[in-house]
Structure 1
């Protein structure tokens, strides 16, 4: 089907269903153009990250919900929006903005981002920050604050500085972490001013790099610059069908991250939410991918965790208890709490083609 037609259909659906519109930076789009020219189609991994596909529009799975993680149930503070979330005793997630450099097609926070569009008004953000600071003062058990969004790096340096310094003013907070995809969408967002700010406050940076082809020379050089400032760099990303759902693709990505000094923390299982079926993978195949990855890679590669997020926090394979054969809902037990996870149907789980996912490596075609 013609890509322009798919884009038009998706635009209509995104307005009606509250999905994020297509948004791609010129930097990232140049990689997509190279991919499309090399493959002669729009089936490459980076294209799927940024542009809708036919299965993104039409594929549905049973038991999909609007919001699986339900951060609203863990909202803290007096704000009417879900700008601060606490699922763990020692940390709080603060949504600094609803804006991103690019909108990922697989985004699992679209519902919350659409709810928080008004957050970017400076006065409202100032109010949210003040409420966060008051909350942190009242909760000395919270020792870490995670700044996310949207993408915190999209904020002007003075605004980002105000947030960081406000959180730093609470003595019980020992660590601040920033989650960002700016490194692959717009590496130049890491200006000298922002890098100095991050370094001065000894922040941790967690990227969301999903595919080895996102790491080009310019991205590697910017990561090297961040390392020169003694910043601690991490990564976590989702397992996405037709994008990276093969142990060799994961190995390539994790190996590349290790080579440039970025430690991967987790590989996330996609949430079973509306319009996510194009990216989801059945749990049994995820375990097979994990086992194959463990078999072919050294410990500094395969030490990463496969998890999914829930209203109770991260859930791992070892928390699995059973699957209801009638409903195909997997049951996990974490800290005594039972968590239901609708599995992705086996008949829909068509694995990604490695000759597309690793198109630069001619040996696999």
Structure 2
């Protein structure tokens, strides 16, 4: 199949060049949201700790400025004053107010970052494999069949989500960054590990790269018979769908997707949609159509985020719309234990209620979605529900993925706690320890 002559319909934003907005634009943008000078200063203070980046498409097409700063898309991309402890915001605000030296501000921001668990689930300590002469930069191998790769050129996004658990990738501290630039090393590692059947390109956002750069990483993998699937984790369909319709290399990118499919591999486009409004623009529908026409499969996922999508109707709307567009609902995640988790986290009991209520109102075609799932240190833990068992109220859970493959799919139980928001908040029920605790 060929897409070169496909003409894009008359959709909004065609031909508009990508324009990024960063922390230096925050005062102007937050003024548009109606924030007072002190509130704008506090927002800038938070942005010294957590990254901020958005673009013209998000600002003009997705945010309802008449509802800002309470608009969910605004909250999705703009720092909020109460994301950090008040004393930290006050300290950083004072430094900005008196125009303190950049080094002093950065030192204070670094101290706050180190309290925010910048690398959850043992990412830096447990997941980076050794091979040949040492560890492979930019690679994670947490589960036997799947390798994650973080291309060096993909370590940013078209816009940053305020909830992002990989926020440490974007703050300019090299010791916290995962990035690799050795496609050959990736290929050689896979050849030495025939158990690996899936490679996931992630970041940042792999789709921030141009086609020639992404091709450097993907082409060496196409002849590996062991690989069944290549996955691309991305928020680009929500934040810059022009990537696949009107950008200069859109057709070349789609040809690359075709080549992956024609090699006999499943190309799984792991698209992040956090709110139904991200699915509304005509440009998104056209981008999805063009990607699917290459033979790629688009699967959708997002975390459950307080103040943004923490109600069943929002998820039901998303899953219904995605199914109608030919996308496959895949995961509802629990907000990870990093960054401003306390600001965004939804208790597990409430998370399950939201998932169940939304799940019960969609058809079987949308019930491909799994959740609520925690990507914790031992693996991906799914909350199956709250049950009364042997006279005790407990959470029923199971592993969707696990470092110990023998535990996958086996139920286990935790004492009910209405305030628990993460696996580490739970205590085992009917046992002295959890199954992974030796």
How far the C-alpha of 1:335 sits from its partner, in A, is 9.4
Structure having greater relative contact order (Cα 8 Å, sep ≥ 6): 1
- Assess if the C-alpha contact under 8 Å between 1:257 and 1:264 holds in 2: yes
Aligned to 1:136: 190
1:222 deviates by: 1.1
Shift of 1:169: 4.0
How many residue pairs match? The answer is: 327
In 2, Cα distance between the equivalents of 1:261 and 1:5?
46
1:143 is displaced (CA, Å) by 0.9
Query: Is 1:105 matched up with 2:166?
Result: no
Aligned to 1:253: 318
Q: Note if contact 1:6-1:52 (Cα within 8 Å) is conserved in structure 2.
A: no
1:187 is displaced (CA, Å) by 1.0
Aligned-partner Cα distance in 1 for 2:84–2:297: 38
**Distance between the aligned counterparts of 1:282 and 1:165, measured in 2?**
43
Contact 1:77/1:131 (<8 A) preserved: no
Task: Deviation per CA, 1:262-312: give whole Å up to 9, x if none.
Answer: 001100000122322221101111111122123322222344111010123
Q: How high is the TM-score relative to the length of structure 1?
A: 0.80
Provide the C-alpha distance between the structure 1 equivalents of 2:309 and 2:271, rounded to a whole number of angstroms.
Answer: 16
Match for residue 201 of structure 2 among 129, 140, 147: 147
Residue 153 of structure 1: how far off its partner (Å)? 1.1
Indicate if the aligned counterparts of 2:301 and 2:331 stay in contact, CA closer than 8 A.
yes
The answer to whether the Cα contact below 8 Å between 1:87 and 1:312 also exists between their aligned partners in 2 is no
CA 1:241–1:167 in structure 2 vs 1: closer, same or farther (change >3 Å)?
same
Residue 74 (structure 1) shift: 0.9
Contact between 2:42 and 2:81, CA under 8 Å: does it hold in 1?
A: no
Query: Which has more radius of gyration?
Result: 2
Deviations 1:176-200 (A, max 9, x none): 1111111111112121110110121
What residue number does 1:198 align with? 257
Cα distance in 1 for residues equivalent to 2:217 and 2:428: 37
What are the within-5 Å matches in structure 2 for residues 186-265 of structure 1?
186-190=240-244, 191-202=250-261, 203-215=267-279, 216-265=281-330
Distance 1:3 1:31 in 2: 24
Measured on the aligned residues, the alpha-carbon RMSD in Å equals 3.0
1:255 is paired with a residue whose SS is helix
Corresponding residue number in structure 1 for 2:377: 311
Shift of 1:31: 2.9
Name 1:31's counterpart in structure 2: 61
Mapped to 2, the partners of 1:3 and 1:281 lie a distance apart of 29
Partner of 2:218: 164
TM-fit CA distance, 1:148: 0.6
Deviation at 1:167, TM superposition (A): 2.4
| Cα distance in structure 2, aligned partners of 1:74 and 1:309 | 13
| 1: CA distance, partners of 2:370 / 2:37 | 38
Report matched runs for 1:1-365 at 5 Å: 2=35, 5-15=38-48, 17=49, 19-20=50-51, 22-33=52-63, 35-37=64-66, 39=67, 41-58=68-85, 65-72=117-124, 73-77=126-130, 83-96=138-151, 97-114=154-171, 125-127=180-182, 129-190=183-244, 191-202=250-261, 203-215=267-279, 216-306=281-371, 307-317=373-383, 318-319=397-398, 321-323=413-415, 329-331=425-427, 336-338=435-437
CA, structure 1 residues 42+115, in 2 after alignment: closer, same or farther (shift >3 Å)? closer
Kindly tell me: are residues 46 and 134 of structure 1, through their superposed partners in 2, closer, same or farther at Cα, counting changes over 3 Å?
A: same
Gaps spanning 5+ residues in structure 2: where? 1-33, 88-114, 245-249, 262-266, 384-396, 399-411
Contact 2:206-2:214 within 8 A present in 1 as well: yes
SS at match of 2:305: coil
Structure 2 CA distance for aligned equivalents of residues 152 and 195 of structure 1:
14
CA distance, structure 1, for counterparts of residue 160 and residue 119 of structure 2? 18
Indicate if the aligned counterparts of 1:271 and 1:309 stay in contact, CA closer than 8 A.
yes
CA drift of 1:54 comes to: 2.8
Q: 1:3 to 1:295 in 2, by over 3 A?
A: farther
CA offsets 1:143-197 (integer angstroms, 9 cap, x no match): 1100111111111211100100122243322211111111111112121110110
Partners of 1:265 and 1:217 in 2: how far apart? 23
Instruction: Please say which of residues 101-110 and 48-57 is displaced more in the overlay.
Output: 48-57
Distance apart, 1:228 and its partner CA: 2.1
1:59 to partner: Cα distance: 7.5
